[in-house]
């Protein structure tokens, strides 16, 4: 039976990167004997202008019937900031119970010049994965705003913390190196609660090398030494995960190289590039499609259990980079290529 992929093109550069995502999934599925069908579903700023809702009911209904979702970035400068974020991106994650936000951080060979870090610091590579809690914390959407004060409740529940930590321990077990939890337990009760749960779980997993790091210190240390000897699986809460994922993207050269997967291990998961809709470069044909293409690899690995096809996609990305192709965000002063040149090169290598 065919696997059904819901496709949200999103706004700005969304349609440009998503079309390369679809082509990648098609090519990989041909290689791997998978049958895929795609259904485009309007969600986002453009959907808001057209249908009066960021996430129209029909779209939600269609997405419920899918096996996985490929989502482009969303947000438009002509719509007040926050509307698309809350009613689109966060609503999707919440609705589908996607409590894991997986953000691999990998420096591809040849992209050292695109990183702001010295070559010396990159010689062992960079290859870790951020496991970001994706359903509560400061994103619980509890709180309020008046003229005189505002609150955001940093909600951590036993169930919410346990399930994300269990996922992180499982991943750390698979990768076999170490697990670092990032929090702010010296100040926040919510972090202290998290750390206690983490420490308890660490005790029952003596085979995994576990430690905790305060978030400010993590931000410093990862710049001083981003190597795989130090960082492998990093688990953290929603807000800290958001922030450290962008810092990590800079280390590996660009947000344009940063994929993500919003996972509900028992439900409908959704992959998306970490970057936004970048309206300033939309329609120019220069956006980096690799974050979306690499997100499709995550779909193969985590939604369809096809590690073989994920590796093929990732190897094809390395192949395109080895040819010297660089979109402007990773060109580091060298000649840049277009979105399509990069996408075509990946497909050539996906054989
Ligand atoms: C991300 C984004 C979103 C987040 C915003 C746009 C709601 O920054 O995916 O990292 O904060 O999670
Ligand atoms: Mn973010």
Q: Is the CB of 274 under 6 A from ligand 1?
A: yes
**Rounded mean pLDDT of 124-143?**
98
Report the alpha-carbon distance of residue 50 to residue 157 in Å, rounded.
Answer: 38
Gap from CA of 2 to ligand 2 centroid (Å): 33
Give yes or no for residue 113 having a pLDDT over 90: yes
Residue identifier of the C-alpha nearest atom 8 of ligand 1: 242
Distance 93 CA to ligand 1 centre (A): 11
* 85 Cβ below 6 A of ligand 1: yes
H runs (alpha helix) in the chain: 14-32, 45-51, 57-64, 83-84, 91-95, 119-122, 158-175, 189-203, 215-224, 238-251, 290-298, 307-322, 339-349
Map out the domains of the chain with their CATH numbers: 1-101+258-351 (3.40.718.10), 116-251 (3.40.718.10)
89 lines ligand 1 (CB under 6 A): yes
Nearest CA to 58 among 35, 79, 39? 39
Does the beta carbon of 90 lie inside 6 Å of ligand 1? yes
pLDDT over threshold 90, residue 201: yes
Q: Does residue 100 register a pLDDT over 90?
A: yes
Q: Is the CB of 11 under 6 A from ligand 1?
A: no
pLDDT value, residue 1: 87
- Under the banding of pLDDT at 50, 70 and 90, the label for residue 291 is very high
Work out which ligand 1 atom sits closest to the CA atom of 75. 6
Q: Probe ligand 1: pick from 102, 242, 278, max atoms within 8 Å of CB?
A: 242
Terminal-residue alpha carbon distance, the chain? 24
Ligand at minimal distance from the CA of 247 is 2
User: What whole-number percentage of the chain has pLDDT above 70?
Assistant: 100
State how far the Cα of 83 lies from the Cα of 111, in Å rounded to an integer.
35
What is each CA distance from 179 to 202, 213, 261, 348, in whole angstroms? 9, 11, 19, 36
237 lines ligand 1 (CB under 6 A): no
C-alpha dihedral sign at 138, 144, 150, 153: negative
In the predicted structure, residue 176 carries a pLDDT above the cut 90: no
Residue 351 confidence (pLDDT) above 90:
no
Residues 6+ apart with CB under 8 A from 236: 130, 131, 132, 133, 181, 182, 183, 215, 244
Best mutation site among 45, 87, 90 for ligand 1 pocket (most ligand atoms within 8 Å of CB): 90
Gap from CA of 18 to ligand 1 centroid (Å): 18
Question: What mean pLDDT value characterizes the chain?
Answer: 98
Which whole number is the average pLDDT over 85-102? 98
* Ligand showing the shortest atom-to-Cα distance for residue 246: 2
**What Cα–Cα distance (Å) separates residue 211 from each residue in 91, 166, 232?**
33, 15, 12
CA 313 to ligand 1 centroid distance, Å: 25
Q: What is the pLDDT of residue 230?
A: 97
Where residue 218 falls among pLDDT bands split at 50, 70, 90?
very high
Residue 31 CA to ligand 2 center (angstroms) comes to 33
Q: Give residue-wise pLDDT tens across range 7-51.
A: 999 999 999 999 999 999 999 999 999 999 999 999 999 999 999
Tell which atom from ligand 1 comes closest to the C-alpha of 238: 12
Separation of CA 242 and ligand 2 centre (Å): 5
Q: What is the pLDDT of residue 313?
A: 98
pLDDT band at 97 (very low <50, low <70, confident <90, very high): very high
Nearest to 96 by CA among 41, 51, 151, 49: 41
Is the CB–ligand 1 distance for residue 242 below 6 Å?
A: yes
Cβ 316 vs Cβ 346: under 8 Å: yes
Q: Whose CA is nearest to atom 6 of ligand 1?
A: 85
Q: Which ligand is nearest to the CA of 103?
A: 1
Catalytic site residues?
139, 184, 216, 242, 246
């Amino acid at each position: 039976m065919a696997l059904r992929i819901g496709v949200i093109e999103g706004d700005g550069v969304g349609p440009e990167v998503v079309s390369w995502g679809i082509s990648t999934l098609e090519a990989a599925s041909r290689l791997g004997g998978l049958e895929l069908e795609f259904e485009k579903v309007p969600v986002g700023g453009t959907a808001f202008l057209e249908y009066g809702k960021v996430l129209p009911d029909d779209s939600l209904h269609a997405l419920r019937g899918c096996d996985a979702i490929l989502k482009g970035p969303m947000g438009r400068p002509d719509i007040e900031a926050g509307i698309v974020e809350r009613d689109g991106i966060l609503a999707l994650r919440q609705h589908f119970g996607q409590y894991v936000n997986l953000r691999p951080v990998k420096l591809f060979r040849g992209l050292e010049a695109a990183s702001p870090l010295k070559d010396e610091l990159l010689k062992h590579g960079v290859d870790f994965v951020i496991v970001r809690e994706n359903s509560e914390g400061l994103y619980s959407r509890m709180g309020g705003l008046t003229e005189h004060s505002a609150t955001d409740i940093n909600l951590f529940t036993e169930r919410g913390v346990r399930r994300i930590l269990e996922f992180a321990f499982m991943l750390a077990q698979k990768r076999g190196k170490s697990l670092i939890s990032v929090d702010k337990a010296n100040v926040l009760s919510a972090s202290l609660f998290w750390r206690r749960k983490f420490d308890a779980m660490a005790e029952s997993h003596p085979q995994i090398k576990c430690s905790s790091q305060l978030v400010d210190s993590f931000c410093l240390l990862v710049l001083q030494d981003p190597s795989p000897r130090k960082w492998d699986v990093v688990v953290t809460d929603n807000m800290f995960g958001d922030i450290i994922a962008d810092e990590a993207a800079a280390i590996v050269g660009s947000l344009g190289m940063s994929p993500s997967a919003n996972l509900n291990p028992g439900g409908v998961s959704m992959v998306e590039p970490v970057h936004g809709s970048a309206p300033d470069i939309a329609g120019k044909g220069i956006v980096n499609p690799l974050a979306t293409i690499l997100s499709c690899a995550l779909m193969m690995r985590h939604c369809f259990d096809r590690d073989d096809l994920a590796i093929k996609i990732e190897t094809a990305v390395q192949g395109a980079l080895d040819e010297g192709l660089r979109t402007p965000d990773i060109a580091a002063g060298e000649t840049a290529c277009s979105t399509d040149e990069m996408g075509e090169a990946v497909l050539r290598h996906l054989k």
